[in-house]
Chain A
């Protein structure tokens, strides 16, 4: 919502408040101020044409040297739409800048010449002030002066009104709240009585209100004998400052009154409404406006020249042949006002907020009107706004009222709910101690009706425009914002602390991330979605993936069922980083389908790339072992083949390791190798061993014995080591000492450590045990090297 300050000051005097203070007060107590638009936001200057020449290669284009003040001469390329000659003073936009209409101007290269700005026509400026289509300045206007300043354009606040405060979507409504805040007087809008002579009234306008359940009020009036023109300057300038483009007086006035009071209005060209059938008892030449629900396959061709298929059940304003407007949203081209219009029907209605929201949402069509209806209109406003617009139209375009005021109400005026305000409760919730007297004063400033008053309670009714105030807490907010949030004291809560520990894995997750970091891994975070090609890379069935109903684009089509594609994306981005080794990991949730349920699982995935595959494996293994050690000692890696292996905890699969075969590595200049692993953290957390009691230290010495096995490929070390370590209770540790490659296999030296919990083992005992154990592992591919 754009609020020009001079328009605002028509209703409230702000001369004692600086713009800076005003902006701060509004931000704190009313709404966010997104921007202050000032004259200097638009660099449009009075420029004098110094020379003109034709651009050779072009039919229409000319280039001029223009003096724009401050000894600055710029080149402007323009079309020969206007008569421009040396010495003319014209509005010139100096790039880079933008115009009040939103048009942005930048330096441009055109057929080999540079244009440093633009001659600004009325159309581009957004005003229709000259007959010719461009403003001309006389010698008394100084070269270089700001054109918008000359036009009287003043500072405008660009406000972000929250959806609960529909009452602020008008200059008057905003001024009313500001007046309450500053405790100032508000100047009322004078609502004139409708003056018409009975002899002028014809009975040729009929309203048939069918969609009664969603139209709270429908008022209309007919004016004839109009001469539509361009609006006077003051209306045009105010509209432009408020972000509206002036069109013609009748349309401009409907917009003007909407901005001023908040009630959307619509004008139909009476003659463009189809004549109704006389067989329905209507007099010849009469027009019947039908307010009804839309049917299957109805279209509207809107004022802004777009076509929409209407959702069934939205409300349309129609005659018996065609649709004249989509109620509360936008008018149709077929009944629009032109400069030739002489008779109009002016509509002021209150449509149901939910209806308008649904229609606007279904068509993705948000208008100034629909926004206001969605946020609810002051129920008292419809007829007042209509009268205000009639007055302005007749003032500017002449004409006279030629129908009665048709005013159809479907709902009896809702009596606003009473709310009981308790001062004790206010203090208990806010922590503010104010007197009942002060609370009451604030509420009166906001125009609450006080019905009953006792020492601690007020019985109150909110004003008709405050649809957002329904319960006591809403009233508390009103008092707090006017009193000032920043005057509320700062305290710390007392009260009992809770000792329950809600199940949460975040601490474990953090522990793992820290461990990985300590081992040299970089933590990454990627989006939770990916594209169809990445579904294939994930290696997980497309059917198991969850698909978004409304993705932003192909990159967000599927929810990730694996963290791998994201890690590969990260790898690709960093493939040329200077280090040989890249170790990246992500901890995050993946998603999949299971029995038509949505499943989300916390995963750890990592990717390691370097020139040496063995180095990759041992680095990954170091990380996995270290992580599993935090949670549980019983780790195993079971190779399925040369490319994949399972990560086991107590023989439960918790993850996997795979050799990367992705194209990204195939094209790597350094010809590096990659390995990927993932662990389902939720499974791991479930298998976590908790220490319940410490185990007494073993005071007896341990003894080491080494053995070297010769293993034929493709046997995996894990297959040798893991069973070995479970052979005997006195064998407490098996450690890998050395590996070297043989002609067809490997020699592996292991160190076995023996210890008994209750005595010192003798050399002989250990020797025998050791021989038994190491021999038990001899199989086809495994023998002991002597």
Chain B
């Protein structure tokens, strides 16, 4: 039975494709170029390379049976999908950070710049802190420097970019890594094939 797997483009995608080849899920190492679909006839899987934030859409809409996506996006989207495995790659952290000058201020409403409004709202609700979300798609670290926000919620791998922009990490919201996901229907209808891939990835991890 043919499976379709959505792989994110970019750095995480390259890590994923290497992992899939190392584990024997793919028969050859796919090196993404301009082409966005690859079919592995031997292993009966078609790979589609999509924007990381679109992996979940392809899986939940059924165009892909499985996908690999960061757990930050899974928590942010809250769509109905099954999270089968932590691949333990693409590790980073979702953090709260700000300029030192902001840290000591007690404000009734804090402006938070982020690409993850849902995770941010949930976190600050748990802290009983009122916030105003400033939604940004990239270079979130700039926001406190330009006084667009008081603090940020963002992803960091090493913390270097945060430090280089004069920000300090206030808290870690969650640990992030790449996960194997599927939709409920594919999980039922293609269970043997999906489980086989999961078990292969689980070996020696």
A and B assemble together = no
B residues sitting closer than 8 Å to A (CB atoms) are none
A residues sitting closer than 8 Å to B (CB atoms) are none
